[in-house]
Amino acid sequence: MNILGIETSCDETAAALVRDGHQVLSNVVFSQIPLHVKYGGVVPEIASRAHVEKIGEVIKEAIVDKIDAVAVTWGPGLSPALIVGLNAAKGLAKALGVELIAVNHIEAHLHTPFLDSSLLPEEAMPALALAVSGGHTTWIDMPRYTQYHIIGQTLDDAAGEAFDKAAKLLDLGYPGGPKIDKIAKEYLARPDYKRSDLISFPKGRAREGVSSLSGLSADLCVSFSGLKTALLRYVQQSGGAKKLSDDGEIPRIVTSYQEAIIEALCDRTARALKKRDYRSLIVGGGVSLNSRLRDSLQRVADRANVKLLTALPKYCGDNAAMIAALAYYRRNRSGQEAMSLDVNPSLEAGE
């Protein structure tokens, strides 16, 4: 069964054709990053216009074979951006006379390790899943495939957001994650690198009272607001970002900051893995591209004796292959009902 996926939840206009939930026949992604760079973040109005301009072209390029169903992201995401994809998907499904399947974007990120892979999702269960992206940092217990229980999350910024905000403060450009990853990688590879040289930033501890408001236990939650404030204070005390040298101070600060985020993510993951006898650890979302995070999570998985499942780099960021692939396993949500579907910008994982 060939499913055409459409994704426009944020700043990527994407369409892809996927066979039977695994085999990617086409994967077209138009990134709007250059349009948003000067604002240091995604501007919803600009994103929406760019989706309208590109969606036709992107879908056309993705149609490389017959289409048996159309799948689309209906949330979470930016409302004016989601609407463009949903309307295009409705029109296409209607014109072709095929079913329309609505897919949750976060859930789709968790399907990415199964793209271009013969591993069946059910074979990976029970799994602990970690969604780490620009908008989410969430730990999810998956007893069976497509069953989700959120057991931990960030209480404020998502990990990707924490990377992006630090990069903005240090004037490193947008998006910050890849830039910080690269600078830290070079710093950690220096022959004179010593762990004791790193700045001791707060490690994302969540306050007990705040996490209990969301019904989650603090030991499986993170909070990056203290880390962000500590960075700001450190930069101010050093006389501002412009005073910091590109070859000395910036790499040391950036590496220390990244280590604090990664330590927080790995610590909560290790704790969560102890709660149940898991078979695998699934990690999806843009931040899972981070090389240091991947290595660290591999060690966490090895220690817990579970298999780490991550996506190929081309499927880590937003794409439509993950939408089309998950839709294959979510066909029961299709039909007429989906034709009257509205976008749901604040959709929770699993909805």
Question: How far is Cα 58 from Cα 15, in angstroms, rounded to an integer?
Answer: 6
**CB of residue 298 to ligand AMP, shortest distance in Å:** 15
Does 285 interact with ligand AMP (rule: CB under 6 A)?
yes
Does 163 interact with ligand AMP (rule: CB under 6 A)?
yes
**CB atoms closer than 10 angstroms to residue 64:** 13
C-beta of 244 vs 325, nearer to Mg ion: 325
**CB of residue 274 to ligand AMP, shortest distance in Å:** 26
Q: Which of 175, 116, 123, 25 is nearest to 311 (CA)?
A: 116
C-beta of 12 vs 141, nearer to ligand AMP: 12
**CB of residue 264 to ligand AMP, shortest distance in Å:** 14
**Size of residue set near ligand AMP by CB under 6 A:** 18
Does 178 interact with ligand AMP (rule: CB under 6 A)?
yes
The dihedral sign for the CA sequence 287, 289, 292, 297: positive
Q: Is 44 left (phi over 0), alpha (psi -120 to 50) or beta?
A: alpha
Q: Which of 7, 292, 272, 326 is nearest to 127 (CA)?
A: 272
Q: Which of 283, 6, 307, 310 is nearest to 133 (CA)?
A: 283
Residue 236-275 contact track with ligand AMP, rule CB under 6 A, x = bound:
----------------------------------------
Picked from ligand AMP, Mg ion, none, the partner binding residue 287 (CB below 5 to 8 A depending on kind) is ligand AMP
**CB of residue 41 to ligand AMP, shortest distance in Å:** 10
What is the maximum span of the chain, computed from C-alpha positions, in angstroms? 64
Does 133 interact with Mg ion (rule: CB under 5 A)?
yes
Picked from ligand AMP, Mg ion, none, the partner binding residue 80 (CB below 5 to 8 A depending on kind) is none
Q: Nearest 5°: phi and psi at 247?
A: -100, -10
**CB atoms closer than 10 angstroms to residue 9:** 29
**CB of residue 14 to ligand AMP, shortest distance in Å:** 11
Q: Which two tokens stand for residue 64?
A: 């490389």
C-beta of 141 vs 318, nearer to ligand AMP: 318
Does 317 interact with ligand AMP (rule: CB under 6 A)?
yes
Q: Which residue from 77, 121, 160, 251 is in contact with ligand AMP, where contact means CB under 6 A?
A: 160
Residue 299-318 contact track with Mg ion, rule CB under 5 A, x = bound:
-------------------x
Question: How far is Cα 327 from Cα 342, in angstroms, rounded to an integer?
Answer: 17
Kindly give, in sequence order, each residue whose CB lies less than 8 Å from that of residue 121, ignoring residues fewer than 6 positions away.
111, 114, 145, 146, 329
With residue 282 as reference, give the H or E element that holds it. strand 280-284
Picked from ligand AMP, Mg ion, none, the partner binding residue 181 (CB below 5 to 8 A depending on kind) is ligand AMP
**Size of residue set near Mg ion by CB under 5 A:** 2
**CB of residue 340 to ligand AMP, shortest distance in Å:** 28
Q: Are 69 and 4 in contact (CB under 8 A)?
A: yes
Segment interacting with ligand AMP (CB under 6 A) among 193-201, 287-295, 305-313, 323-331: 287-295
C-beta of 2 vs 319, nearer to ligand AMP: 319
Kindly give, in sequence order, each residue whose CB lies less than 8 Å from that of residue 351, ignoring residues fewer than 6 positions away.
75, 104, 344
Per-residue H/E/C for 307-333? EEEECCHHHCCCCCHHHHHHHHHCHHH
C-beta of 115 vs 244, nearer to Mg ion: 115
C-beta of 106 vs 218, nearer to Mg ion: 106
Question: How far is Cα 340 from Cα 162, in angstroms, rounded to an integer?
Answer: 37
- Give me the residues that bind Mg ion (CB under 5 A), please: 133, 318
Binding site for ligand AMP (CB under 6 A): 133-135, 160, 163-164, 175-178, 181, 285-287, 289-290, 317-318
